[in-house]
Structures are given as C-alpha cells and as structure tokens.
C-alpha cells in the first residue's frame, strides 16, 4: 500500500512546508480538502487551471500523490437552489482534479436535511437512497466528462450506511467513474460493533472491485459512545483489511485519519508493520 495522511491533520505550516513535513514523516500521498487545508484558496471561483497546475507542481516537487481531493457536501440537501450550488461545487472540484491529477474526488453521502444531521428513519429510508442516487447521477456524468473518478464513502450514520446500500448505488449508476472509499471504522457503530468482522467481510465481498482508496483509523467504545483516534491506539483489528489490500489492491492509496502531528508516524509504522507481517 501507499500510506498517506489527511492534510488537515498535519502540523499547521505554509502549504509547501507542510508537504515537506508529510514527506519527511514517510508518507507518499495525502488526502486534501481545500476548505480545511488552511492558508490556501478554496472558493469555487478560485479553482482555476493555473491554481491546479501550481498545486500539481508542489505535489510533484515533494514526490507526494494527491490521493483524494475531498468535497464533503450534502447531495441530499432539501433546498433545490442549495442543491444546485452543491452540485456545481462538485463539478468545480472534478474539473480541478482533472488538472491536478488527483486519484479521486472523495465524498460522503449526506442526510436529507439541511443540517447534515443523522435521522434514524429518514437517513436510511429507501426513498432517501433513491433521492441520493438521483442527485449523484449528474455529478458522476461530469466525472465521466472530465475523466475523473468520483468515490463515495459509506458511513453508518449517512445515507449510504452499509455495504449493501453502497452496492445499490454502484449498480444503479453503473459508471466506471464511480468508485468506493473504504473506511471500515465508518461502517461501525456501537449498535453493530459486536458484528464487526461480519460488517467488514460484507464490505469486502460486495465492494471489492470498486474499492479505490482505503481510509485507516482506530476507535474506542466508552460508555456506549464511539470515538476515533490514530491507528494502533484503540480496538480495531486491521488484519483482514490489510491482507485484502495486499493480495488484491497493489499500490492502493491508504490514508490515515484522526492522527495528530505527534502520533502520525507511529500510526504509519503500525500499519506498515502489520502489512509486512502478512
């Protein structure tokens, strides 16, 4: 695997210096959300070809891949005018990614309210899934036009809450430009943690062909609540996931999440040692 880190989890420095630190810490790729990166433009009007080319030069100079260009917005927003703005922002990111050379444009899958709030009934209803598919379809069509991959990330408390719902989206849209970001911890919740192995196996069985990126983090359950932290510091067992990647996804981008500048290298070594042991 090519192990990377989420850009906004790194030490806060000017853009080029931040890339230097990422490379010095042994990472070969990064996941960057422009609006969270700090110190660089992220407005839609700023996403020009020149800006993308400048950023590509910085990544190339530091020998780092842009694994994921994040655009985490709500494609089930109930206000039609706001939804059009959100879709336009995805289009702008896809255009930018086509010049930047990002591996994928990444997104989660929202909830059918303006607050992007989990609703135990509405978020996971059949009707909401159909709404999401309908709103996602034109964005995927733009991804096809730009020759860019759009990758959705299933999350337990979002519309695409399970491997089965992710499979339904892939089958409905049926595009080679729609792929999956596989974050196994995001598929878990205190309510299903006792079936962790089954949930992960189902994800691999149903989505293995379309998995384009892996996200890596750990978790703890305390007082019935789940919190996320750097790999190696919690309760997650990554053995089956790393074995799957090693055997089936050569050189896949695998980016760490929920690290701090102090524990990032330790998390990288934890994952790489596991990979080397299998």
- The string of pLDDT tens digits covering residues 134-178 is 999 999 999 999 999 999 999 999 999 999 999 999 999 999 999
Contact between 229 and 222 (Cβ < 8 Å):
no
Range of the domain at 49: 2-277
Quote the radius of gyration of the chain (alpha carbons, Å).
18
Specify the 3-state DSSP secondary structure of 80: helix
Dump pLDDT digits (tens) for 53-74. Answer: 999 999 999 999 999 999 999 9
Contact between 214 and 208 (Cβ < 8 Å):
no
Show the low-confidence residues of the chain (pLDDT under 70): none
CATH number of the domain bearing residue 121: 3.20.20.150
Per the structure, the count of domains in the chain is 1
178, 83, 182, 137: CA torsion to nearest 10: -20
Residue 275: its pLDDT value, please? 97
């Amino acid at each position: 695997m090519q192990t990377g880190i989420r850009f906004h989890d790194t030490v806060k420095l000017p853009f080029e210096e931040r890339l230097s630190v990422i490379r010095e810490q042994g990472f070969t790729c990064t996941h960057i959300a422009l609006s969270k990166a700090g110190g660089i433009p992220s407005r839609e009007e700023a996403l020009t070809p020149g800006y993308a080319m400048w950023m590509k030069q910085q990544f190339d100079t530091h020998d780092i891949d842009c694994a994921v260009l994040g655009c985490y917005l709500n494609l089930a927003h109930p206000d039609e005018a706001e939804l059009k703005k959100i879709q336009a922002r995805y289009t702008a990111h896809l255009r930018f990614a086509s010049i930047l050379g990002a591996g994928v444009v990444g997104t989660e899958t929202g909830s059918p309210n303006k607050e992007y709030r989990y609703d135990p009934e509405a978020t996971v209803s059949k009707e909401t899934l159909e709404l999401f598919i309908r709103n996602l379809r034109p964005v995927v069509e733009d991804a096809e036009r730009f020759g860019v991959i759009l990758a959705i990330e299933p999350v337990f408390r979002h519309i695409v809450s399970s491997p089965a719902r992710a499979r339904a989206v892939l089958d409905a849209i049926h595009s080679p430009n729609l792929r999956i970001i596989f974050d196994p911890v995001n598929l878990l919740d205190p309510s299903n943690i006792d079936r962790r192995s089954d949930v992960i196996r189902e994800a691999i069985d149903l989505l293995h062909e379309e998995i384009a990126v892996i996200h890596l983090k750990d978790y703890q359950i305390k007082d019935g609540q789940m919190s996320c932290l750097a790999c190696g510091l919690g309760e997650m067992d990554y053995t089956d996931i790393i074995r799957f990647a090693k055997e089936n996804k050569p050189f896949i981008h695998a980016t760490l999440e929920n690290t701090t500048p102090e524990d990032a290298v330790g998390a990288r070594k934890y994952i790489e040692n596991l990979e080397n042991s299998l």
